[in-house]
Amino acid sequence: MKKTAIYPGTFDPITFGHIDVIKKALKLFDKVVVAVSDVENKDYLFDAQERKEIVRKALFVDLKLKDGDVKIELFEDVAPNHVKRIKELAEKGMYDNVVFHRVIDGFMAQTGDVKFGKSDSNDFDLRRAGMGGSDQPDLKEEFSSLPHDRGTLSMARSSDPNSANSQFFICFKAAPFLDRQYTVFGKVIEGMENVDKIKRGDENNNGSVNDPDKIISFKSL
């Protein structure tokens, strides 16, 4: 049975304390409903709709795919530098139109090559997708005890633990053999069924995908 928590409040404004409570609840419950409420005869800094938007942007990012949206929680407390990199690139639109160049059924879908995998750029080269990254320096690993469960987002890297840059993957199912070896930075909390529809690659060619699906947009909600 799935567990749902309801967290009511005015959230005017939302504080780091609120965010901490919500993030801890997301680890304990399958779903957390943040109920933004109004109290009669109170003057608010922000109206109800503005407060809802502030809550969303503080907690989640939205990955838009061909079959629908995917809501993602980012683990800033566990992997702050990787989350910062992902958010910076996302806000610049760097992930928009980046292909899922390596997709292995029953394992994961890899994307995030913002150099060779960005299908609307002059540098796009599907044969080289997976070999590039951003112009920013590689990141020092932030391995943790968080498991690679279904829906986990984790950073791709080379054999060097400190080589993650912009590429990441989403797990279709649990992959415990990756635990403590790759930096987990987020998880899917809604829309995993849309991730499941990402076009698979050739199992005989390490999951390489011909005419791959792509990220339509990746940004704060």
Number of structural domains (the chain) is 1
Is the residue at 46 inside a domain?
Answer: no
pLDDT attached to residue 62: 87
Burial of 6 (0-12, 13-18, 19+ CB in 10 A): exposed
**34: closest CA among 49, 61, 60, 55?**
55
Is the residue at 42 inside a domain?
Answer: no
Q: What is the CATH number of the domain that holds 83?
A: 2.40.100.10
pLDDT attached to residue 76: 86
Q: Beta 108-111 vs 168-171: how paired, if at all?
A: antiparallel
pTM of the predicted structure, to 2 decimals: 0.80
Is the residue at 102 inside a domain?
Answer: yes
How many CB atoms lie under 10 A from the CB of residue 60?
18
pLDDT attached to residue 48: 83
In order along the chain (221 residues), what is the average pLDDT of each group of 10 residues? 87 84 81 84 84 74 93 90 94 96 98 98 97 98 97 98 98 98 95 97 96 92 51
